[in-house]
Amino acid sequence: MNFEPVVLFFVLGVIAGLLRSDLKIPGSIYEALSIFILLAIGLKGGVELAKHQVGDLLVDGLIIVLIGAVIPLVAFPVLRLLGRMSRADSASIAAHYGSVSVVTFSVGITLLGKELLDFEGYLIVYLVLLEIPALMIGVILARHGQGQVRWGKLLHEVFFGKSIYLLAGGLLIGFVAGSEGIKPLDKLFFDLFKGVLALFLLEMGLVASSRIAALREYGAFLAGFAVVMPLFSATLGTFTGWMLGLSVGGTFLLATLYASASYIAAPAAMRIAVPEANPALSIGASLGMTFPFNIFVGIPVYLWMAKTIHASGG
């Protein structure tokens, strides 16, 4: 197994939560850690992007977004028909799974570092691109035939919500500054990245442990969905990455991106745009189930998938 010490901090947080330790990360520290992670990932992506012709990436980007849009469109009927969930809940959960998780992605990058595998740094751009259509599809699915969407408020929430905004802002600054200009910031944003990720995972564990309970109330179907859906999405991502000629590392990261489910941007956006959906369901599934599944089981499996397809295909 590909063992990564940072995920132990997640375990530490889960156990603290289950045992009702008085350990808690203050809300403002959680905010600061997430601002740090979003900016750092954005900066890293921007520095990488600066090494490429942006034009070359456009076609790839379009393909990746279009195939990514398949995920919520598959998730919705599964939840609605197999799971017999309400239209609003199905749409909201579909949006969460079509959207992505920056932290899952970061754990993936961390594993590549450990395995000494390279990856296409500009993939970070797709972190931003994938979020937007997923949330819009979620709202359309929820409102289909009811036509009272607050598009203005929603689009604003999506584009200027802090996660997209900081990722995109970091990308731009990294792109403009380039790897030379960003050097004086390296000591904060790059050297400390993994340590900060560890602390963030500690907090995620604390929260996830409370979400697992919430999920239990809603039965086996949703729990099963939260495990099968990322496997399906990762398979889609593995093929897409391989087709587009990405490296093993890049293919793995795209699979991880597709497989990850949002628990920062999507919950806030859906609470405003589809208020009748129950947030305990979507956050319970994405954070209580899919997130730990991905970091412990999924990520090693996706790496194996990427290696296998490249070995067979090469």
Shortest CB 23 distance to its own copies, Å? 4
- Are 222 and 293 in contact by the 8 Å Cβ rule? The answer is no
By CB under 8 A, name the one of 77, 195, 219, 245 that touches its own copies.
195
Query: Which token pair is 61?
Result: 């980007």
Binding mask 143-182 for another protein (x = CB under 8 A): ----------x-----------------------------
Q: What is the dihedral of CA 55, 61, 66, 67, to 10 degrees?
A: 140
Shortest CB 22 distance to another protein, Å? 8
- What one-character-per-residue DSSP string does 11-68 give? HHHHHHHHTT-S----HHHHHHHHHHHHHHHHHHHHHHHTTS-HHHHHHHHHHHHHHH
- Distance, in Å, from the CA atom of 312 to the CA atom of 314, rounded to the nearest integer, reads 6
CA atoms 112, 114, 118, 123: torsion sign? positive
CA distances from 49 to 26, 34, 37 (A): 35, 22, 18
User: Which positions ≥6 away from 8 have C-beta within 8 Å?
Assistant: none
Shortest CB 179 distance to Na ion, Å? 29
Binding mask 196-215 for another protein (x = CB under 8 A): ----------xx--x-----
Please, which residue, 20 or 84, has the CB nearer to its own copies?
A: 20
Binding mask 82-111 for its own copies (x = CB under 8 A): ----------------------------x-
- Distance, in Å, from the CA atom of 31 to the CA atom of 221, rounded to the nearest integer, reads 32
Query: What part of residues 222-261 is at the interface with another protein (CB under 8 A)?
Result: none
* Residue 125 binds another protein, judged by CB under 8 A: no
User: Using the 8-state DSSP alphabet, how is residue 244 labeled?
Assistant: T
Backbone φ, ψ for residue 301 (5° rounding): -65, -45
Shortest CB 118 distance to its own copies, Å? 17
User: Which positions ≥6 away from 52 have C-beta within 8 Å?
Assistant: 122
The amino acid present at 308, given as its one-letter code, is T
Shortest CB 21 distance to its own copies, Å? 4
* Residue 310 binds another protein, judged by CB under 8 A: no
Q: How far is residue 44 CA from its own chain's centroid?
A: 17
- Which one of its own copies, Na ion, another protein, none interacts with residue 220, CB within 5 to 8 A by kind? none
By CB under 8 A, name the one of 156, 179, 217, 224 that touches its own copies.
156
Among the listed residues 56, 77, 112, the one whose alpha carbon sits nearest the alpha carbon of residue 254: 112
* Residue 182 binds its own copies, judged by CB under 8 A: yes
Stretch that binds its own copies, among 123-131, 175-183, 224-232, 283-291 (CB under 8 A): 175-183
Please, which residue, 160 or 304, has the CB nearer to its own copies?
A: 160
Please, which residue, 70 or 177, has the CB nearer to its own copies?
A: 177
Please, which residue, 155 or 185, has the CB nearer to another protein?
A: 155
* Residue 130 binds its own copies, judged by CB under 8 A: no
* Residue 131 binds its own copies, judged by CB under 8 A: no
Shortest CB 267 distance to another protein, Å? 5
